[in-house]
Amino acid sequence: MQLTAPLDMHLHLRDGEMLENIAKSSACTFSGAIIMPNLVPPVSTKEDVIAYKQRIMAAVGEENFTPYMTIFFKPSYDKAFLESIKDEITAIKLYPAGITTNSEGGVSGFDVEELRPALTAMSQLNIPLCVHGETNGFVMDREAEFVSIYERLATAFPKLKIIMEHITTKESVAVLDRFENLYATITLHHLLITLDDVAGGMLKPHLFCKPIAKRPEDRSALLKVALEAHPKVMFGSDSAPHPRHAKEACGCAAGVFTAPIALQVLAELFAKENASIENLQAFISGNAQSIYAVTPPNKTVILEKKPFTVPSDYNGVVPMFADEEIAYSIKKTRITNDCK
C-alpha cells in the first residue's frame, strides 16, 4: 500500500525536551502537520511563531516535513496584525477558555460582536479558523451543545473557513453539510473507541482525551464520513504526548499519543472496512490540500501487511496500542529516512 504526502491536520508537538523526543514520530511518516499553539505561554505573536517553527525544524532534523503554524486566537487581533503575520501561519486556533490543556487564555461567551473585528479580518485575508468546539456543560454533551455556536459563527461570517477540530459526535457530522464554510478534522482514536473502551472496565488512562470519546452511534457517524472520504473532512490526529507519570496518575492528563502508529492503523481500519485506498489517500492528504490550499513536500510512504508490535513507549511517552500487535508496518518512505 502506497500513500502520498500524508498530512496530519491537528498535531501537538509540545516544546523543549518533549518536542525533541517526539517530533520525529510525526516527521518520519507525515509530509506536514497543522501545529497547535497551546504552549505555556501560548504562541500568539509573529516572533513566537517564527521561534517555535525554528525549534520544530531543529527537532525534526533532516526529515522532509513542513510544520503549518498557527497562533492562539485573541479577539484583540486586528487586520494590521493579521496582515503582518499572514505569511507565517496557516490558520488561527480558537479555544474556549479553560476547556482543555493550556487553554486558560481562550474565549468566553462567544459574543459574535466581540469577535467580529478579528473574524471579519480573517475572512478578508482568507485565514482559516480552527475551533476546539466544546462548552463547559456536562462532559458528554459539550460538543453537541457547541453546534449552535458553530451555526452562529458560520452564519455571521459566511466567507470564513471554519474547521471543527477533532469532532466526536453525530451532531457535528450532521452540521457539516448545512453550512458551506464548515469543515472538520477527525482523529484516529475517535474512529476506534467509545467511552466504554476508556472507562467501561478498568480505567485506561492512555485512552483518556478531550473531547472525550462518545457513544457507538457517534463513532459510526465519524466512520461513515471518514471511510467515504467526505470532501469536508480530513485526518487530524490530535496526537497529544504526555510523560507516563502525567498519564498514570491522579489527575490524569488528557491526550492520546498516536503519531508513530497513525498511518499503519488507518491502513488497517480502511482495509477492514473495505474502503478504497483512494478514499484513504483523500482522507489523509487530498482533502486537506484542497481545504487549506497547501502543497506539502513530496513524500511517499509504503506500508505492508506485516504484523508490528507497538513499543511500550517512545522516549517515555506511551502510545496507543502499546505492547500490542497491529496488522500493518511501515516498509519504507521515499525522500526521507526510513522509519523504524
**Active-site positions?**
238
Sheet-wide strand order for 66-68: 7-11, 32-35, 66-68
Q: Which residues pair with 233 in a beta bridge?
A: 184
Of 1, 74, 64, the C-alpha closest to 37 is 74
Distance CA 264, CA 162 (A): 29
Q: Where are the beta strands (DSSP E) in 74-194?
A: 91-94, 129-131, 162-164, 182-186
Look at residue 316 and give its three-state secondary structure: coil
The DSSP annotation for 197-222 comes to HHHSSS--GGG--SSPP--HHHHHHH
Question: Residue 79 half-sphere exposure, CB side, CA atoms within 13 Å?
Answer: 8
Distance CA 214, CA 222 (A): 11
